[in-house]
Amino acid sequence: MVTSIQDSNSLFGMGNPLLDICAIVDKDFLDKYTLKPNDQILAEDKHKELFEEIVKKFKVEYHAGGATQNSIKIAQWMIQQPHKVGTFFGCIGKDKFGEILKEKAKEAHIDAHYYEQDEEPTGTCAACITADNRSLVANLAAANCYKKEKHLDLEENWQLVEKAKVYYIAGFFLTVSLESILKVAKHASENNKLFCLNLSAPFICQFFKDNLMQVMPYVDVLFGNETEATAFAKEQEFETEDTKEIAKKAQALPKVNSKRHRIVVLTQGKDETVIASSDKVKTFPVLKIDPKDIVDTNGAGDAFVGGFLSELVQEKPLDQCVKAAHYAANVIIRRAGCTFPEKPDFK
């Protein structure tokens, strides 16, 4: 009997659902709020006005975002049928932005189950774009209120977790609910399922490294880009800035489920993608693109992961996963926000 590989709810994601507020800004705006051109940070008090100013001063677009949710949507888009292969958990507010996120999740055919509370408004992320750089400032608000016992532990929700075969959580969620991540990661490990994590940002590797390293022994697939990899290597005292070496060392970190060797996947923008598996490091060139066709690199990393997951959940070989990842990223950077055409053209 052939198992139905694309069952509904076979891919599970949990993270920070945010509404992206995207605008092309100028250097003065970045300087005013001491933002680096290419970075991801959490909003502090000094960024309060930024969210109002960006809307007043620049032409903004609103897109349903949040790293994990983006990746689950892209995976679903790549798979197409059946709908609801991807499940997503996260916390939103009972407000207009929350309604938009629910609507957009429906449109993307993912099975989103939000924990809704009214103490905090739905989270937002300002994507400040200059040329082909993007500086992200996330105001987590409601996203930060996710509670394991109020949502993940509920029987009807946990059943959805149990249905999945592949799990993906962006490192950003390490700042919100470590206990939720560990519950899911341990479930995956104990049942020989695939648990995937993203380093997500240098600040996660630096300031949340204790949380990160509590989860690492359960990680089957680790994603990151070159800046995150360098920050991770520095914090872990790998004593190297070479992406291939970092991949190799991260691959060799202790792991609970010995039935599966960890795979480390590190992207490097337009340069080749580096993958370390049990005993070797391989590189895969990305698809070429004319710089003038690049509209917005904001969703590239999320799209890469989404493409990768779409094949992983179908139990395709590693090189096919990478091919799909490169394809999805190449499509997304030609468009504003993490948006996509109606159907993929991927073989």
Residues 39, 200: Cα–Cα separation, whole Å? 10
Alpha helices in 45-154 (DSSP H): 48-57, 67-79, 96-107
**Is 302 designated active site?**
yes
- Active-site residue, selected from the candidate residues 20, 302, 319, 345: 302
Q: Looking at the DSSP assignment, which residues form a beta bridge with residue 92?
A: 116
Note down pLDDT in tens along the chain; length 347 residues.
334 456 899 999 999 999 989 899 999 999 999 999 988 899 999 998 999 899 999 999 888 889 999 999 999 999 999 999 999 999 999 999 999 999 989 999 999 999 999 999 999 999 999 987 889 999 999 999 999 999 999 999 999 999 999 999 999 999 999 999 999 999 999 999 999 999 999 999 999 999 999 999 999 999 999 999 999 999 999 999 999 999 999 999 999 999 999 999 999 999 999 999 987 999 999 999 998 888 777 789 999 999 999 999 999 999 999 999 999 999 998 887 667 878 898 87
For residue 143, CA distances in Å to 114, 121, 242, 338 come to 10, 9, 35, 19
Which pLDDT value is given to residue 294?
Answer: 84
Which pLDDT value is given to residue 5?
Answer: 53
Which pLDDT value is given to residue 63?
Answer: 84
CB 338 within 8 A of CB 332: yes
Residues 17, 166: Cα–Cα separation, whole Å? 19
Q: Looking at the DSSP assignment, which residues form a beta bridge with residue 115?
A: 91
Which pLDDT value is given to residue 6?
Answer: 67
Which pLDDT value is given to residue 2?
Answer: 38
